[in-house]
Structures are given as C-alpha cells and as structure tokens.
Amino acid sequence: MPMAVDFGGRPFHFIGVGGIGMSALAYVLAKRRLPVSGSDRCLTHITRRLQENGVHIFWSQEAENIAQISTSSGGTVLPQVVCSTAIGAANPEYKAAVDAGCPVFHRSDILAALMNKAQGIAVAGTHGKTTTSSMVGYLLLKAGVDPSIVIGGEVSAWHGNAYVGSGNYMVAEADESDGSLVKLSAAIGVITNIELDHPDHYSTLDEVVGIFKNFGQQCGLVIGSADCPTVLNQIRPGITYSLRQESGADYIATDICETAQGTTAEIWEREQRLGELHLAVLGRHNLSNALAAIAVARRLGVDFDAIATIMATFEGAKRRFDCRGFHNNILFVDDYAHHPSEIEVTLAAAKVKTTEQLSKINQRRVIAVFQPHRYSRITAQLSEFATAFNQADHVVVTDIYSAGESNPSGITGEDVASAIREHHTQVTYAATIDDVQSRLALLLQPGDLVIFLTAGNLNR
C-alpha cells in the first residue's frame, strides 16, 4: 500500500521548489504552518515569495541537503520528499532521500492528498486549464466562497500561483502531461477539451482519452465542453457548455461580439437567459473558458449578476496573452502557447486586437515569434505546426527548446521554419535570442503587435 502523506507536522522538502507546480504546493503547505524546505538553483520572484512565507531554500541540489534537514529536525524525523517528473533517479538529492529511507512523493500525490481534505474542483484539459482554473478561483474568491487555489500560472488577484482561503473548497489545475491526472478525485471536475499532446508520454489519442475517462470517473460531477466532440462523446459530462446555440448545451453563449477591448456575449442557462457577460480577456477560447467557470459558480449557487460583475474585472493569468506594454507604438505580448491549437486561437485573438485598436495606423501587423518546445512534440506534430500561423503577418522561428529531451530524430528549428514556409510567405529563422533581437530590430514598425509564443525561455 502506498505511504500516506502526513500533514501532522512532519517536514516536507521539495526538490526543484521553484517550478510553477511545485512552488504552489510548497506555498500552500507553508501557509498552513507546516515545516517546508526546498532546493533550487536560482533566486526568482517565485522562490523569494516562498522564503517570505517561511520556506527554507537550499541553492543547490546535493545529497547533504537531506541530512541537514533531518539533523535540524532532531535527527529522528526524515522529511517527506516531493519531486516532479522532471527529477530523475540520478539527481543526487533524490538518490540521498531514497537511500536514507525518506518517503518520496510525486507532486501529484501531495495535490491529491490536499484535494481529498477539501471539496475539490479540478480543472483539466489539453488547453485552457490554467485560464479556466484561474477564472474559477477568481469567481469564487470574489463571490465570498474563499477557496484555496493551486494553479500552473500566476494571477495578480492573489499575487502568485496559489492562495490559501478559509473555505472548504479547493480549486486546482489538474495536469495530464505525465499521466498523474488519474491520482486526483474531486467533487467537481472540469474538462475543457481533449487532444493528443505530450508525445513523450502518449502515443495515441486513445491513451489520452483513457486518462481523462479515469479522471472523470473519480469526480462527483463532470462539467465539459460540448464543442469538443471527444469530451462530449467519450466523457459524457453531466453539465455541458458551448459557443454554439444549436449544441443544446446547458450553458450557451450567443450574440458574441469580439473587440480589442474584450468579448461580450449573452449567456443562457438551459434556455433561460441569464444576462450579458463582458470579458476583458480576448478570444472566443476565453469565452469558452468563462462558460466553464460560470457553470461551476452556478453549481455552487452564485448569482449570475454577481458572476457578470466579477468576470468583467478578471485580467487573466500571467503569460496568457499577457500585454507587456508599448515601445515606439509597438505592442509586446507574451503567451505560453506551444501547441498548434493554442497558437491558432492566440493568433486569432491577436488579429482582433490589431484590427480595431491599431486601426488608425497604416501598418497593423501581427508578428509571431515562436520558440518550438520539445523535440518529441515538434516531431510528432510538425504538419500541424506548419499550418498554425496563418493569422500572423510574419513568423520568426527560433531553435527548439529541448526541455531536457534528447533529439533522436535530429529535427531543428530551421526544419520548423521550412515547414511553416510551405504555407506562409513571410517566415524567418532566427536561431538564438540574440538573433531574434537583431531580426526584430530590422523588421518591426510602429503599429505592430509582437507576440512571443513560448513555453521555454524566450520571454526572459
């Protein structure tokens, strides 16, 4: 039988505590006054926030860290060691923990244990889960439910990627990338969509569907998108939402109007008009995400007038169409999109932004700077990436960000640029960040919108 997570005061130690998923869990445990330490290699605003909340951080990942934690606990209590899929068996800290007999947990084990102690609301899906879980958390927080929140992105409303509330609900982003989604159970599960991604872990769409089916069976209620045939037909959610009036979904958006200031729509609940919704975040995909959040809030009894008022002030999660500012009348946007479907909807939103907001300027171009992410993903989906940039006026492609993967196929960023060039006339290959800067200096004009599409380090 797997060892149970101990929330009774036994210390936790996170290997790689600065990661977006790991840091959220460490923060929650620290705010609940449990002893927490971690290791990482560099100081960031994320690790600084952890330190400010009592997390001791070692600035290396060495075997001695485990012994030091045990000694500081009186030498009798071994820490509970937490790691992510990125930490391999060769990691010296991980190896020392195993050799010492420490209980070692995957980060999903900690999240599952926390969810089991609350009324869990888990948001899953190939795309949109960070924004949707942010919307759910924001709605419930502002509506007075005061949930705890653990997500894979940062939100200004709670100054980070986690929040510890006084209520009994916990909103969590549920990650399917490594299969650990099956460990989670929740009172309410949301599934935004299902596509084949993470080819390093999944070979077929059927494998992905199987993971989501397992997750759905462990939720008291599943809320899912009727606009995704795979969700609708394979998961059969108890409550559905859609952007199509003819779908017959429980929650529907009609009279959709997209402008540079946001998206407006009429919201319907089972053929009853609830009212008008305005979102400051751009794109039809975000309206779909908002419908999922509305369905959750309505299930918990939140009045629609309150929902509409709250959602009008939602600013989005960091790195999700994150407008970083203007320079020389050029708008710079940062986005986490790294899958073909994500790129398509993000560029569609960018096109709306330029068409209206910059309409008084002759040049209204969308310049997409794309850093391909993971050799396995690019190799498996190269043909889909090749056609994903049609809404961009110019595409700049960098070398592939490996995320620690090997490259058995030998694919390069130049190969990606060549594939896109078969469907697009304006494509430039710029291998490094310095090359990108040089190319943009020659390319950009006042009125342009430059959007950086990366799950790697391009935005740094």
Active site residues: 129-130, 173
Among candidates 192, 457, 131, which has minimal Cα distance to 322? 131
Cβ-contact 452, 335 below 8 angstroms: yes
Give the contacts of 161 (CB within 8 A, at least 6 positions apart): 20, 23, 24, 27, 46, 150, 151, 152, 153, 154, 155
Q: Which of 251, 246, 245 is nearest to 267 (CA)?
A: 251
Dihedral (CA of 220, 105, 118, 136) sign: negative
